Structure 1
Amino acid sequence: MEQEKLEAALSYENEAKRLAIHIALYGGLRISEIVALKWRDVDLDNGFIYVRHSFQRIRQSTRDGSKKTSLFLGKPKSEKSVRSVPMNDRLAEAVKVYYKGLGQWQQKEELFVISKETGGFYDVRTIQRFFKDVCIKAGIGHHHFHDLRHTFATNAKACGVDIQLISEILGHAQTKTTMDIYIHPSDLDKKNAIQLTNHMNKYKNTQSVLQQIEHILEKATFKAI
């Protein structure tokens, strides 16, 4: 399974960047939201992440007339994107272990969660390149970081989490977006569903018998009257 291979490869990697992948995989956050997280946005006691900011890449003109892009910390993508995200036990434990391993000055609430040793934030592209390299090491081919968000949604649905709740955790304005783009039935889902057709003939026979019984009862009732 690709997810297992990915996590095995991650065990040897940089802790901050590794945590960024875990937050996407088990929390469903966008990469722009993950790199914008500060410790004030993480409730370790109650197991919640609060999405309040997001990095945006803005194109700017330089004095020589060339164009360059820079990251700016702003509000999330939409009103629905401002949300609380519950952490499962696995993610909560990963965040706690990472937090305890930081220096005291790095644990200040105004500092970034996914940070460099200097306390500065990682560029989105740096995390994306890191993820690409880990996928190669894991032998699972090429994947985009955003695919982790899809994996989160599909896994949550497979575990029976309500689609409305999944949509809210992902920060979608409509559940249709979640269903149409993010929820992908697994091969096991397909196999289990198609197995139901094994009982089709049995179901038809049962229905036929029930109809015959109903017909007999109707005639019996008519004679009694």
Structure 2
Amino acid sequence: MAYFRKIQAKNKKGYTWSFTLDLGIDPETGKRKQITRRGFDSKKEAELAANQITLDIENKSFVNEKDVHFKDLIQDYLELIAKQSVKPSTFYGYTTVVNKRLIPKFGHIKVKKINPKLISSYYNDLLKEGLTEEYIQYIHAILKTASQTAVDWKYIKNDFMSNVKAPRRKKNEVETWSIEECIKFLKRMKEQQDHIFILYYLAIYTGMRRGELLGLKWGAIDFDKRRIHITHSLYYIAGQGLVLQDPKTASGKRNISITDDVIAELQAYKVKKQEQLLKVGLKLNKDHFIISAFGGEPLNPNTIHKQFLYDIKLAGVKRIRFHDLRHTHATIMLEIGENSKVVSERLGHSNVSITLDKYSHVSSNLQDSSAENFSYALQKTRSQQ
């Protein structure tokens, strides 16, 4: 049964309408169950709302939305769900975004008051601030999971992210070095510390990611079969330090072939590391990290960016990111005619379409040369007949 009443208010009418639904006695608590809603402009509007709630209760689809603030929802989601379901590095990324971006913006707002327009306006503000579409998509993914959690926990009835679209990611041109620039850079790096040279050398010759390179141990190198077994990545997580994690996807765990040149560089480097350790009475073993300033201790991934920028300037080559060494490896392989499937497997992409999409500028150039080769082959055959 519903009870309707007028309530004094500071509007033109001087009042609004409210209603209370009496749902009887709660068998678990022994207390009377009631639902009250306020702020309706007319009695008819209040009646329609009361009828809808009554219908939802009968259909067992009613959710009595809670007065929970976004800050409490997102912190509970991080602690109770994300922490147990994602990798430590991912959880650290989530926590950073939540504390830096989401709580300052939405923390004081009740979850039931958040709507698609509010989120979309926020995305526009972030774009104006200069944030990338990729970063906003990352925020979008966290908000979607948080919203669904609020629905699952019956804080709200409707998912406030269901009609929100993140800005589409722009396709940026891949920055790479030419073969000549790679040679010039590595030649200059030969004069640097051994572990710095081998880091760059492997990055260019294998296309491995920064974390994969830094997480590489001597036991991962099969010198006889000329293979590198990639099974982990190294991350730095605040409060935990350096952490080894499994790859994000199944394709990230892979074996890649290396040439005799790479084998020779690794063996020469290994001898130097063994001599280094022997001086302090230690022996190099398979569990020591390859990229190590001393012995077998790993490098902090966060230090690589500044080191790389310094070394680029030292070598006098075009400025790119460390990750672009990976793009350089892939681009050169495709330009010399390597099969895209092979390149995809070396990079650890989940499917070849990712490779083809990312390096479409290369495949476009290869189409031109392929067309020329095809035409030349037919003309040559015709002339011989």
With normalisation by structure 2, the TM-score equals: 0.45
Letter in 2 for 1:3: C
Q: Cα–Cα, structure 1 residues 7 and 167, in superposed 2: closer, same or farther, change >3 Å?
A: same
Q: Secondary structure at the match of 1:102?
A: helix
Tell me, in whole angstroms, the C-alpha distance in 2 between the residues paired with 1:80 and 1:20.
22
Any unmatched runs of 5+ in structure 1?
A: 61-68, 207-225
Q: Secondary structure at the match of 2:294?
A: coil
Q: Decide whether the 8 Å contact of 1:27 with 1:152 is kept in 2.
A: yes
- 1:75 paired with 2:246, answer yes
Q: Secondary structure at the match of 1:164?
A: helix
Q: CA deviation at 1:11?
A: 1.4
Q: CA deviation at 1:141?
A: 3.2
Q: CA deviation at 1:129?
A: 2.3
**Which residue of the partner structure matches residue 56 of structure 2?**
none
1:90 to 245, 258, 261: 261
- 1:102 paired with 2:279, answer no
Tell me, in whole angstroms, the C-alpha distance in 1 between the residues paired with 2:309 and 2:371.
37
Query: Which protein shows a greater Rg?
Result: 2
**Which residue of the partner structure matches residue 332 of structure 2?**
155
Q: Cα–Cα, structure 1 residues 115 and 36, in superposed 2: closer, same or farther, change >3 Å?
A: same
Tell me, in whole angstroms, the C-alpha distance in 1 between the residues paired with 2:327 and 2:264.
22
Letter in 2 for 1:86: S
Tell me, in whole angstroms, the C-alpha distance in 2 between the residues paired with 1:110 and 1:7.
27
1:9 to 166, 188, 204: 188
User: Number of residue pairs matched?
Assistant: 192
Letter in 1 for 2:266: V
Between 158-167 and 32-41, report the one with greater CA deviation.
158-167
Q: Cα–Cα, structure 1 residues 194 and 170, in superposed 2: closer, same or farther, change >3 Å?
A: closer
Tell me, in whole angstroms, the C-alpha distance in 1 between the residues paired with 2:294 and 2:370.
52
**Which residue of the partner structure matches residue 227 of structure 2?**
48
Greater RCO between the two (CA within 8 Å, min separation 6)? 1
**Residues 26-62 of structure 1: CA deviation (Å, up to 9, x unaligned):** 01110100100111111112211100111234344xx
Tell me, in whole angstroms, the C-alpha distance in 2 between the residues paired with 1:178 and 1:44.
28
Q: Decide whether the 8 Å contact of 1:54 with 1:77 is kept in 2.
A: no
**Which residue of the partner structure matches residue 132 of structure 2?**
none
Letter in 1 for 2:235: Q
Q: Decide whether the 8 Å contact of 1:157 with 1:183 is kept in 2.
A: no
Q: CA deviation at 1:194?
A: 10
Q: CA deviation at 1:94?
A: 1.0
Q: Secondary structure at the match of 1:85?
A: strand
Tell me, in whole angstroms, the C-alpha distance in 2 between the residues paired with 1:79 and 1:194.
33
**Residues 115-170 of structure 1: CA deviation (Å, up to 9, x unaligned):** 12142101112233222211111111321111110111111112222111110111
Q: Cα–Cα, structure 1 residues 184 and 107, in superposed 2: closer, same or farther, change >3 Å?
A: farther
Any unmatched runs of 5+ in structure 2?
A: 1-179
Q: Decide whether the 8 Å contact of 1:153 with 1:183 is kept in 2.
A: no
Q: Cα–Cα, structure 1 residues 110 and 194, in superposed 2: closer, same or farther, change >3 Å?
A: closer
Identity %: 28
Q: CA deviation at 1:76?
A: 1.4
- 1:120 paired with 2:284, answer no
Q: Secondary structure at the match of 2:350?
A: coil
**Which residue of the partner structure matches residue 89 of structure 2?**
none
